[in-house]
Copies of this chain bind each other. A is one copy, B any other.
Amino acid sequence: MGASWGSVGSVGNSRPVGMKDVARAAGVSVGTVSNVLNRPDIVSADRRARVEQAIAELGYVRNDAARLLKMGRSRTVGAIVLDSTNPFYADLVHGMEAAAEDSGLAVIVGSSGNSAEREKLYLSLFEEQRVRGILLASAGTDRELVRSIVDRGTPVVMVEDEGERGADGRAGGGAGGSTVSVDDVEGGRLAVAHLVEGGARRPAMVFARGDLHQVSARIEGAEAAATEAGFELELIEADDLSVLAGRAAGSEIAERSPGDRPDGVFCVNDLVAVGVMQAFAYEAGIAVPDEIAMVGYDDIAFARSTVVPLTSIAQPSELMGRTALALLEEKISAGADAVDRHVRFSPELVRRGSSRG
């Protein structure tokens, strides 16, 4: 078959096929066509068959825009992540998608690339599309903007943001949305405490600027752990959170005279750690962990496969994604009288060869 049908549907130039055309072809009213599409059970068998055949023959495709316009809200949720190329976010999104599928929602994803501008862009795009809700896992977020979006009726769940800062005195997080977070201060503390325990006397941390709350929280914890142990934490800045930036930071360390180098390095995420280790291995032959011990953050799938398997602070990325979507669903069904909920996960140290102890 197939080829024998001749010209199927509206080939090329002609006007697009709408429900009216289907109705005419099937000899029924548009209302009936709509019913066949949305509540097939209430329409009689023969009519349904006629309509279905007409749909197939004409190659009718439902116009979601019109449907959406009429219905008010879509079956879609929007997610904004910092960087979809980073496995941590990829897993996060994966968790969201899995949970969404179970509830018949579709997820559309945008990468902000840590640009506040792109983030705003996606935010408005999603709001204009009347998505059912927004998942925000990007961080330089304009709180006023988020709040106004929430006020206008689109629920927002933020991933990886403060659970209870209350700096501005508002109950439960300034922006007015549920949050899923990990205790990043604790994560930073764990990492540096582990380095110190393993014998590090000159701990350092490689970080990157940008107003990511996670980053400053990790620094805070790292510094606390160092201070508690009686050491000072050296801060080394990388350009961003990528492997490449890590590699550059690693070179910088490698170029110093051996006596001047830190003996334990905590990296703000695994990508950076991988980069730093690349520089150590290929450019300077620095032994990990003997000369310098390493700890990363996120525990991405590749961490256990690096040159020297990377000790890392694990976050339950996929679970966090699922949870974020669950919270969003809760808000969606609760409607106006929804209450903000804040789920906080604990980071966990995963010991591997890149550190001692």
The interface of chain A, by Cβ under 8 A from chain B, is: 2, 8-13, 16, 59, 61-66, 68-69, 72, 74, 84-85, 87, 90-91, 93-94, 97, 106, 108-111, 124-125, 127-130, 144, 148, 151-153, 243, 274, 277-278, 301-302, 304-307, 309, 336
Contact = CB atoms under 8 A, between A and B. Distances in A.
Nearest to A275: B305
B109 A109 contact: yes
Contact of A63 (B69, B124, B153): B69
A338 to B, nearest CB: 11
- Copies, count: 2
B59 A152 contact: yes
Contacts of A144: 2
Contacts of A13: 336
Contact of A9 (B11, B59, B108, B152): B152
Contact of A64 (B61, B85, B129): B129
27 contacts: A2-B144, A8-B148, A9-B148, A11-B151, A12-B153, A13-B336, A59-B151, A61-B128, A61-B152, A62-B128, A64-B125, A65-B66, A65-B68, A65-B69, A84-B84, A94-B111, A106-B125, A109-B109, A274-B302, A278-B304, A278-B305, A302-B302, A302-B305, A305-B305, A305-B306, A306-B306, A307-B309
A301 B8 CA distance: 46
Contacts of A97: 111
A66 B157 CA distance: 26
A305 B300 CA distance: 13
A302 B275 CA distance: 10
Nearest to A109: B109
Given A68-B65, A90-B84, A109-B108, A9 B307 contact: no
A288 to B, nearest CB: 12
A13 B336 CA distance: 7
A311 to B, nearest CB: 15
Contacts of A66: 65, 69
